Chains A and B, each alone.
Chain A
Amino acid sequence: SSQQFSALTELLFRFLTEPKEVERFLTQLSDFATMNKISLGPLKNIVKSILLVPNGALKRNLSSEQVRADFIALGLSEEKASYFAEQWKVNSPTLTRLAVGQTLMINQLIDMEWKFGVTAGSSELEKVGSIFLQLKLVIKKGTQMENVYIELTLPQFYSFLHEMERVKTSLESFS
């Protein structure tokens, strides 16, 4: 029935927009099965097939019109196909953002910490009393985190800041 279909669709999209909530999704699915007196096994299979549609649509950047057409071609009623396509339209910004977020990043910078240091030793006389900056960068290499420690002199820091501001301008001009 159309009510069941919309309930199921809602369920699916809630999962798609929060893909980490697997437990919750499975619980809700089995509740749905019980409430509607459907057996869970076949329902899971149907859901698996349905889930392929939004994922494929994302990969191919399909418009909601195209999604609707696809569903109709698969044999779904116009009403249900339209409803799904509507839901797709509403949720696609979130889904797109999630897909982009999953895109490969090379040594992603996760976090940065810093502290100042002062050299006071007398065996490097020219550095008495000079301030330097210690940075700790947390980097994701593959699946692991790595800490990288670097020291910068103050002139290097100002230069770094200046360059990063240039990067920001560049990134903004492309958004």
Chain B
Amino acid sequence: MSSSTKWVKSGTSVPAPQTRACWPPATVRLAGSAALEGKGQLRFTSGRWSPHHNCTQVATANDTAVRGWDTRSMSQIYCMENAHGQLVRDLDFNPNKQYYLASCGDDCKVKFWDTRNVTQPVAALEEHSHWVWNVRYNHSHDQLVLTGSSDSRVILSNMVSISSEPFGHLVDDEDLSDQEERRPEDKSQEPPQDGVIATYEEHEDSVYAVDWSSADPWLFASLSYDGRLVINRVPRALKYHILL
């Protein structure tokens, strides 16, 4: 069952309806609603299903805060206040690691959170020079993080230390032949580092959307305001490094 979320903007504090669409799209009915308490004009700017909790958890971005909701009781689980200085533009969950999610916003940063400890981000990236509009984890290798920003750049980052394979691909000793036994020593001597893998500057205007291909885990696309769609690959060296 695939799931998608539509994000709806609402200008008042009236309970904001959330809709869920699921196959088959015969009927769409309101499954539950939750109210956002608070002063001022609160809005839901973005939302995402958590892939881990059997479709019971949703995370939403509300202006500057990120909240998590339990759909069974429609109550708030966690809230990261003031995640980004001005506005949180997008969220994404780590497909392999529970409790980890990434958010990006108008302070030009991408922050990675552990939902069990919401006071402080686990990591932060500050590579962009203007608002970051999208952040996406690679579906299978969660150390690859893609971000698109209105400074017309797409940046592919390697967040190994907080991924599900911080030490690279570990192999059992019995599976190795004599020749291959030497390689883990090589790899263990140089653990992969966090950092920017590549910056793609083919766009001339703000990049508003980036995403990974669901067919090939090494392809991604980015879309900018001037109508340009650019499709890129992960550099080959890194791909083999991750695979082997």
Chains A and B bind each other: no
